Structure 1
C-alpha cells in the first residue's frame, strides 16, 4: 500500500500503536495476488520501432520523467541525473546529486531538481550541482521547476518555493488536511498559467506562486471510512491537462476534472486505482487497481469504454499519444492500446525489468524507463 505516517525529517516512529499500524499495512501489501491470464498473441497492427536506448543505474524510487521540448530528464536511485535528446538518444549531460533519491526529477529544460534521502532538494544544470537545501520532511513528488523557481511538495503537506539560481528559500506554506497517513507515491504539482496547482489531500489547490497563498480549492474526492487507511484519498500520479482543465486521480476513490480558472470541480466519478491519469481533448484515461483500462468523456465524466484484457496486471498511468494509449507493466511489458476501444495494437519488452514510471512523449518519441535503469525511445506509426 506504500503508506507512511506524517512526520518531520529527523524523528522516527516510536509509539507501539503506530508501529503496529505500519506492520499491518506491510503485511497486507504482501498478500499474494491472483495470477493474470496469459496475454493473447501480439497483433502488431501498429508499427513500433525502437529508435535508441540509454543506460542509468537502477531506478527503485518513485520517478517522474521531465519533458521539455525534445529533452527528457531522468534520474536513478543512486542520485544520477541525466538529460537526453529524445530525437537521437544522445546524452546532453549527466551529474550526481551526491546521495540516494526519494523523488525526481523536475526540469524546465535548463535547471533540474531532485530530492535525496537526506531530505535535501538538489538543483543541477549542465552536469553540475548548483545548490542544495534542507527540507522539513521526506518528499516523494518530483520538484517543479518553473518561472526561475523550484517548488517542492513535502510529505508533511508543506509547499516550499526556492530561487532557482541561488536556492534561497522564498516562502513555505503549511496546510493541514486532518490525515495522519500519506502515500509514498508521487503527488500532483504543476503550473497552469500564473497559478501553481498542487494536490493537498483529496483537493486540487490553486496557489499564488509568488507567496503560496491559496486562490481556490476544489475537492476531487471526499474522505470516507472510519480509520486512517480508509480515509486516505490523496491525489496521486500524473494528471491530464488540456487548456485550463486539469483531471486527476484520488487514491482508490475517484477520478475528476477541475476548471483551474474558476477553481471549480467539473465532475468526479468513482474509480479504484492508485496511479495517475492520461488524456486528450476528448477523453480521460486511467488504469484501475484490477488492471481494467477505462476511458471517461472529458466534458462530463461519462464512461466511454473499458477494457479488461489486462485484468489483474499492475499497470502505470496511460500516455495518450497519436492513435494509442501507452501503458507500462511491472512485468516489463509496454502495451500500445487503441484510444478508440482499448484493444491491443502492439506490445514491446524493453529489457525485461518492471517499467519504473508512466511513459512520456517527447516530440515524436515515446520514452520508457525501467527499474534496471534502461531508458528507451520508441517511435509508433
Structure 2
C-alpha cells in the first residue's frame, strides 16, 4: 500500500503550514489593521453547487471570450457572462469533478475523482465524450485544439484525441512515496505541453506525439524523512508576458525561469512554494510556503520586496490586478498588496469556507471562486 494515499490529504492543508512555519510560531498570523487605500466593490456573484466540498480540490474558473466557466465537485457546471454574471447555461452531471475547467474554442474539459476526462460542448453543455483513466484527475485538462493533455494523481500524462478522447500517447513519471494532494495543470504553448511533477521535474512534450523535448529538475529531495524530501511541482506553470519563458515553482525547492523552446534555465532562486507565480511589467511575484509574498526582478537578480504579515495563512496563487497583487487565504479573505512595495491596500471577506482556487484578473474585474461554490466579481476603486 502506498504511503501517498494515507498522508497526502493531511499534508494538503495543516502539514504544509506546520513544516514551513517558523520554529516559535505555527499558528496562522492574525489579521493586522492598516489604512485601506483601495476598495473592492462587488459587481456580481453567482453560487454553484458545493464548490470544492470537503476534498482539498482547487477547481478553478476559466475565462474565455465573453464568458467565464465554473464547476463544482458535485457535478455542476455553469457558463456565465463575465461582465454581469448572467447565466448562459447551467447543467448537472453525474460526475465527481476534481479538476477543471479547461477550455478550447468548442469544448470544455473536466477531470473527475473517478479517473475520467470529460469533454463538454461549450455552447450547449452536452457531453461530447468521456474516457476513463486509471487515477484521479486533480487539475484541468488542457488542449491546443488537436490534442487534450491531462495529468493524473498517479503521475501519468495522457495525450487524447481532441475529437473523441482516444489515447494518442502516454508518459509515466516516477512517483515519490509521499506527495502533496494535487497535481500541476498542464501548460500548453502552441505545440508544446509543459507539466510539473511530484518528483520535482518539469518536462516539456511534443503535444502531438508525446516525445520529450526537455526535462528540468526544479527541486532535489533532501533530508532524512519523507516529509523533508517532498519536492512537488504542484503550482501552475506561469508563461511570462514575453511568451518565451515559463516560471516553475517547487515545494522545498527553487523558482526557475526556463526558455520554453530549448528548456534552458534562464535563472534560478531558492524558494519553497506550492502555488504558481504571477508576473507583470518586469517583475515576478511568488507566494512562499511560509505565507510570505515576494517580488523579484524577472531576470531573477533582485529581490524587490517581501511581505510577511500573512504568514501561515495558506495563501492562494498570486494574481496581478491593475496595480495590486491579490492573494486569498484559508479564512476566505481576499488581500490586495501594492505592486510597487507590497503594503496592504485593501481587504474583503469573500467566503467563510475559505479560498483555495487560483483567481482570475480580466480587464477591470477580479474573479474569486470560494470554497463553498460562490463566484464573485470585484472592481477596484480608490477610497
TM interval, shorter chain, is: 0.7 to 0.9
Tell me which of 54, 67, 74 is aligned to 2:70. Answer: 74
Q: 2:195 aligns with which of 193, 198, 202?
A: 198
8 Å contact 2:147–2:208 — kept in the other structure? Answer: no
Q: Which residue of 2 aligns with 1:295?
A: 295
Displacement of 1:77 in angstroms is 0.9
Distance 1:88 1:27, change over 3 A: closer
| 3-state secondary structure, aligned to 2:41 | strand
Query: Equivalent of 1:189, from 182, 186, 189?
Result: 186
Q: What's the TM-score once normalised by structure 2's chain length?
A: 0.87
* Contact 1:325/1:338 (8 A) holds in 2: yes
Provide the aligned length of Structure 1 versus Structure 2: 365
Kindly provide the CA deviation profile for residues 34-59 of structure 1, in whole angstroms up to 9, marking residues without a partner as x: 14233214x33124321111111122
Cα distance in 2 for residues equivalent to 1:111 and 1:18: 33
CA-based RMSD of the aligned residues comes to 2.5
Deviates most, 209-218 or 162-171: 162-171
* Deviation of the 1:21 alpha carbon: 6.5
**Residue of structure 1 equivalent to 2:353:** 353
Task: Say whether the 8 Å CA contact 2:114–2:135 is kept in structure 1.
Answer: no
Separation in structure 2 between the aligned mates of residue 49 and residue 26 of structure 1, nearest angstrom: 31
Q: Give distance in 1, aligned partners of 2:104 and 2:10.
A: 41
Structure 2 residue aligned with 1:89: 85
Q: Quick one: structure 1 residues 300 and 135, their matched pair in 2 at CA, closer, same or farther if it must change by over 3 Å?
A: same
C-alpha separation in 1, matches of 2:4 and 2:196: 25
How big is each residue's C-alpha offset from its partner over 1:77-136, in whole Å with a ceiling of 9 and x where there is no partner? 101112222111122222234121222221125311111121111111221111110112
SS at match of 1:236: coil
Aligned match of 2:21: none
TM (norm. structure 1) is 0.88
In the TM superposition, residue 22 of structure 1 has moved relative to its aligned partner by: 6.8
Identify unmatched segments of 5+ residues in structure 1: 1-12
Contact 1:179/1:231 (8 A) holds in 2: no
CA distance in 1, matches of 2:7, 2:295: 35
Q: Deviations over 1:229-281 (max 9, x none)?
A: 32221212233212111112101322221111221111221213322211124
Contact 2:196 2:237 in 1 (8 A): no
CA distance in structure 1 between the aligned counterparts of 2:117 and 2:319, rounded to whole angstroms: 28
Q: Structure 2 matches for 1:34-113, cutoff 5 A?
A: 34-41=27-34, 43-60=35-52, 61-113=57-109
Distance in 1 (CA, whole Å) between partners of 2:262 and 2:79 is: 36
Q: Which runs of 5+ in 2 are unaligned?
A: 19-24
Residue in 2 that maps onto 1:146: 144
**Residues 93, 26 of structure 1: CA spacing in aligned structure 2 closer, same or farther, 3 A cutoff?**
closer
SS at 2:38 equivalent: coil
Shift of 1:18: 7.6
